[in-house]
Amino acid sequence: MTEVQITTQLAGASKLWRYLSLDKLVDLLSTSELFFTPLATFAKTDPFEGFLPSVALDAHASIFQKYVDAFELSIQQAAEYRNKQGYPLTNEERRTLQASLEDFRSTNRRLLPAIAKTTMVNCWHASESESEAMWRIYAENGKAVAVETTLGL
Protein backbone atom coordinates (compact mmCIF):
# COMPACT_ATOMS: atom_id res chain seq x y z
CA MET A 1 0.00 0.00 0.00
CA THR A 2 1.23 3.51 -0.81
CA GLU A 3 1.11 6.09 1.94
CA VAL A 4 0.69 9.72 0.90
CA GLN A 5 1.92 12.50 3.16
CA ILE A 6 -0.08 15.54 2.11
CA THR A 7 1.82 18.09 4.19
CA THR A 8 4.26 18.35 7.03
CA GLN A 9 3.64 22.07 7.52
CA LEU A 10 0.89 21.68 10.12
CA ALA A 11 1.56 20.79 13.72
CA GLY A 12 -0.91 19.70 16.40
CA ALA A 13 -1.22 23.27 17.68
CA SER A 14 -1.80 24.76 14.21
CA LYS A 15 -5.05 26.74 14.12
CA LEU A 16 -7.62 25.76 11.54
CA TRP A 17 -10.67 27.80 10.56
CA ARG A 18 -13.88 26.75 8.89
CA TYR A 19 -16.12 29.56 7.65
CA LEU A 20 -19.70 28.45 7.16
CA SER A 21 -23.27 29.68 6.89
CA LEU A 22 -25.65 29.38 9.82
CA ASP A 23 -27.55 26.48 8.23
CA LYS A 24 -24.30 24.55 7.79
CA LEU A 25 -23.38 25.26 11.42
CA VAL A 26 -26.79 23.97 12.58
CA ASP A 27 -26.26 20.82 10.49
CA LEU A 28 -22.79 20.32 11.95
CA LEU A 29 -24.06 20.72 15.52
CA SER A 30 -27.18 18.58 15.08
CA THR A 31 -25.48 15.69 13.28
CA SER A 32 -22.01 15.94 14.88
CA GLU A 33 -20.70 15.11 11.43
CA LEU A 34 -18.63 17.01 8.90
CA PHE A 35 -20.11 17.28 5.42
CA PHE A 36 -17.74 16.15 2.68
CA THR A 37 -18.08 17.44 -0.88
CA PRO A 38 -16.77 15.65 -3.99
CA LEU A 39 -13.56 17.34 -5.08
CA ALA A 40 -14.85 17.65 -8.65
CA THR A 41 -17.68 19.93 -7.45
CA PHE A 42 -15.20 22.77 -6.90
CA ALA A 43 -14.21 22.79 -10.58
CA LYS A 44 -17.76 23.84 -11.47
CA THR A 45 -17.38 27.21 -9.74
CA ASP A 46 -13.63 27.81 -10.10
CA PRO A 47 -11.51 26.40 -12.95
CA PHE A 48 -8.43 26.39 -10.71
CA GLU A 49 -10.08 24.23 -8.04
CA GLY A 50 -11.13 20.61 -7.94
CA PHE A 51 -7.81 19.04 -8.82
CA LEU A 52 -6.08 16.30 -6.92
CA PRO A 53 -3.01 17.56 -5.08
CA SER A 54 0.23 16.91 -6.96
CA VAL A 55 1.38 14.54 -4.21
CA ALA A 56 -1.75 12.42 -4.79
CA LEU A 57 -1.25 12.52 -8.57
CA ASP A 58 2.37 11.44 -8.13
CA ALA A 59 1.32 8.56 -5.86
CA HIS A 60 -1.34 7.46 -8.32
CA ALA A 61 1.11 7.65 -11.23
CA SER A 62 3.74 5.63 -9.38
CA ILE A 63 1.22 2.90 -8.54
CA PHE A 64 -0.16 2.83 -12.08
CA GLN A 65 3.35 2.80 -13.59
CA LYS A 66 4.01 -0.58 -11.97
CA TYR A 67 1.15 -2.04 -13.99
CA VAL A 68 2.33 -0.36 -17.20
CA ASP A 69 5.82 -1.78 -16.62
CA ALA A 70 4.35 -5.26 -16.05
CA PHE A 71 2.29 -4.95 -19.25
CA GLU A 72 5.40 -3.92 -21.22
CA LEU A 73 7.37 -6.81 -19.74
CA SER A 74 4.66 -9.32 -20.66
CA ILE A 75 4.69 -8.07 -24.26
CA GLN A 76 8.48 -8.40 -24.35
CA GLN A 77 8.33 -11.90 -22.87
CA ALA A 78 5.64 -12.97 -25.34
CA ALA A 79 7.78 -11.74 -28.23
CA GLU A 80 10.85 -13.55 -26.88
CA TYR A 81 8.87 -16.76 -26.36
CA ARG A 82 7.48 -16.63 -29.87
CA ASN A 83 10.99 -16.04 -31.26
CA LYS A 84 12.32 -19.07 -29.38
CA GLN A 85 9.45 -21.18 -30.73
CA GLY A 86 10.37 -20.15 -34.27
CA TYR A 87 7.34 -18.08 -35.13
CA PRO A 88 7.96 -14.44 -34.20
CA LEU A 89 5.15 -11.99 -33.71
CA THR A 90 3.72 -10.64 -36.91
CA ASN A 91 3.66 -6.91 -37.59
CA GLU A 92 -0.11 -6.99 -37.08
CA GLU A 93 0.29 -8.71 -33.69
CA ARG A 94 2.94 -6.16 -32.66
CA ARG A 95 0.63 -3.27 -33.67
CA THR A 96 -2.26 -4.84 -31.74
CA LEU A 97 -0.14 -5.31 -28.62
CA GLN A 98 1.24 -1.76 -28.91
CA ALA A 99 -2.29 -0.36 -29.34
CA SER A 100 -3.42 -2.31 -26.26
CA LEU A 101 -0.50 -0.90 -24.29
CA GLU A 102 -1.32 2.66 -25.38
CA ASP A 103 -4.98 2.15 -24.48
CA PHE A 104 -3.92 0.85 -21.07
CA ARG A 105 -1.69 3.90 -20.55
CA SER A 106 -4.55 6.24 -21.43
CA THR A 107 -6.68 4.52 -18.78
CA ASN A 108 -4.68 6.43 -16.18
CA ARG A 109 -5.71 9.77 -17.72
CA ARG A 110 -9.33 8.64 -17.98
CA LEU A 111 -9.38 7.61 -14.32
CA LEU A 112 -8.40 11.01 -12.93
CA PRO A 113 -11.81 12.68 -13.40
CA ALA A 114 -13.47 9.66 -11.76
CA ILE A 115 -11.05 9.90 -8.85
CA ALA A 116 -11.88 13.60 -8.42
CA LYS A 117 -15.60 12.74 -8.39
CA THR A 118 -15.11 10.12 -5.67
CA THR A 119 -12.57 11.99 -3.54
CA MET A 120 -14.43 13.78 -0.78
CA VAL A 121 -13.11 16.90 0.94
CA ASN A 122 -13.94 19.19 3.82
CA CYS A 123 -12.02 22.43 3.52
CA TRP A 124 -10.41 24.33 6.38
CA HIS A 125 -8.16 27.40 6.37
CA ALA A 126 -4.86 27.22 8.27
CA SER A 127 -4.01 30.54 9.93
CA GLU A 128 -3.10 31.92 13.32
CA SER A 129 -5.96 34.42 13.07
CA GLU A 130 -9.22 35.02 11.28
CA SER A 131 -9.03 36.04 7.64
CA GLU A 132 -10.93 38.99 6.23
CA ALA A 133 -10.63 37.45 2.76
CA MET A 134 -12.19 34.20 3.97
CA TRP A 135 -15.02 36.14 5.61
CA ARG A 136 -15.69 37.91 2.31
CA ILE A 137 -15.69 34.65 0.36
CA TYR A 138 -17.82 32.56 2.72
CA ALA A 139 -19.97 35.02 4.68
CA GLU A 140 -22.95 35.79 2.49
CA ASN A 141 -24.06 39.27 3.57
CA GLY A 142 -22.31 38.81 6.92
CA LYS A 143 -24.41 35.73 7.75
CA ALA A 144 -21.76 33.23 8.69
CA VAL A 145 -19.70 31.90 11.56
CA ALA A 146 -16.09 30.90 11.89
CA VAL A 147 -15.22 27.70 13.72
CA GLU A 148 -11.71 27.58 15.13
CA THR A 149 -9.94 24.36 16.07
CA THR A 150 -6.51 22.73 16.04
CA LEU A 151 -5.17 19.47 14.66
CA GLY A 152 -4.39 18.29 18.16
CA LEU A 153 -6.97 16.96 20.56
pLDDT computed for residue 93 by the predictor: 95
**Separation CA 144–CA 125 (nearest Å):** 15
Name the band, by pLDDT with cuts 50, 70 and 90, for residue 100.
Answer: very high
**Separation CA 6–CA 63 (nearest Å):** 17
Tell me which of 5-9, 56-60, 64-68, 100-104 is least confident. 5-9
Name the band, by pLDDT with cuts 50, 70 and 90, for residue 1.
Answer: very low
pLDDT computed for residue 5 by the predictor: 57
**Separation CA 153–CA 149 (nearest Å):** 9
**Separation CA 135–CA 153 (nearest Å):** 26
**Separation CA 50–CA 43 (nearest Å):** 5
Tell me the average pLDDT across 56-84.
91
Supply the mean pLDDT for the chain: 85
Indicate whether 2 pLDDT > 60: no
Tell me the average pLDDT across 26-38.
91
CB 40 within 8 A of CB 50: yes
**Separation CA 70–CA 76 (nearest Å):** 10
Which neighbouring-strand residues pair with 144? 21
Domain boundaries, the chain: 12-35+122-153, 49-119
